[in-house]
């Protein structure tokens, strides 16, 4: 059966401060039930693409000046982030944004409010998050600001899950984390994808790890998609090997 497309980014251009052209016609699509990786080096435009989708560019003086973005065939250009969350799309920002003065559990609870779910349902979702992230259960009473970088990343993902998203836009989950933790977090992402059916669009500089866990990848360079394909094909591609996987 054909896979359903959830998110469709069609030839978007993004300009910062009215002059700096950062995305020069980016197109990509995110199918239901997939893990889609958006790859590329520092400054390639990964974060900008995710922020364009969740309408977070305005505060950065950025603007989508061309192209279109739709979710389930409906344009999302006029939706603010909370309206997008209601549609099932949530972004986990780069740098693990947790509320430092709240406990892990309080942080997770803030993720449920956007949804207006009942208490029973929230308790069930909290249990679901703790099942995927046993470390968060252990640390649930700890103030987030005093937990490790890996735990804060988990907390940011867990909080997003509390809105019961259909699609998570995950920005650079590996940033600043030791390799073993990166494996752990990607493993959980894979489990969430397989068992809960959550779709992911994952921006990553760590091509190696991302292509092992994703189904499909797009490679961005200077604001353009220069290559895309199934993850296993990209991993075998000689150019990808040479320029992104550090082996030829």
Contact positions vs ligand ATP (CB under 6 A): 16-17, 20, 22, 40, 42-48, 60-62, 94, 172, 205
Residue 69, token pair as written in the block: 């973005």
Instruction: Report, in Å, the least distance between residue 217 CB and ligand ATP.
Output: 14
Closer to ligand ATP by Cβ: residue 48 or 163? 48
Instruction: Report, in Å, the least distance between residue 32 CB and ligand ATP.
Output: 25
Closer to ligand ATP by Cβ: residue 46 or 164? 46
Instruction: Report, in Å, the least distance between residue 57 CB and ligand ATP.
Output: 8
Closer to ligand ATP by Cβ: residue 52 or 136? 52
Half-sphere exposure of 84 (CA within 13 A, CB side): 26
Residue 165, token pair as written in the block: 């998203």
**How many other β-carbons are positioned within 10 Å of the β-carbon of residue 130?**
18
Instruction: Report, in Å, the least distance between residue 37 CB and ligand ATP.
Output: 13
Which H or E run contains 119?
helix 119-132
Residue 60, token pair as written in the block: 């950065």
Rg over alpha carbons for the chain, rounded to the nearest Å, is 18
Nearest to 113 by CA among 126, 127, 103, 101: 126
Closer to ligand ATP by Cβ: residue 17 or 248? 17
């Amino acid at each position: 059966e054909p896979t359903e497309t959830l998110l469709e980014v069609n030839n978007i251009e993004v300009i910062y401060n009215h002059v700096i052209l950062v995305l020069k016609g980016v197109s990509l699509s995110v199918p239901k039930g997939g893990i889609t990786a958006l790859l590329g080096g520092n400054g390639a435009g990964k974060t900008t693409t995710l922020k364009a989708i969740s309408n977070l560019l305005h505060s950065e003086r950025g603007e989508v000046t061309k192209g279109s973005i739709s979710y389930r065939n409906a344009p999302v250009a006029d939706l603010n982030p909370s309206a997008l969350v209601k549609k099932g799309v949530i972004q986990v920002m780069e740098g693990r944004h947790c509320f430092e003065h709240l406990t892990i559990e309080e942080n997770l609870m803030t993720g449920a409010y956007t949804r207006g779910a009942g208490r029973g349902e929230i308790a069930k979702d909290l249990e679901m998050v703790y099942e995927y992230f046993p470390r968060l259960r252990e640390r649930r009473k700890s103030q987030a600001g005093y937990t490790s970088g890996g735990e804060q990343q988990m907390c940011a993902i867990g909080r997003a899950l509390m809105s019961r998203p259909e699609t998570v836009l995950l920005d650079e989950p590996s940033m600043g984390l030791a390799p073993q933790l990166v494996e752990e977090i990607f493993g959980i992402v894979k489990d969430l994808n397989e068992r809960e059916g959550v779709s992911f669009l994952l921006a990553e500089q760590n091509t190696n790890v991302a292509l092992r866990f994703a189904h499909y990848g797009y490679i961005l360079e200077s604001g353009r998609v220069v290559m895309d394909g199934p993850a296993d094909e990209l991993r075998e591609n000689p150019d990808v090997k040479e320029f992104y996987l550090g082996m030829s």
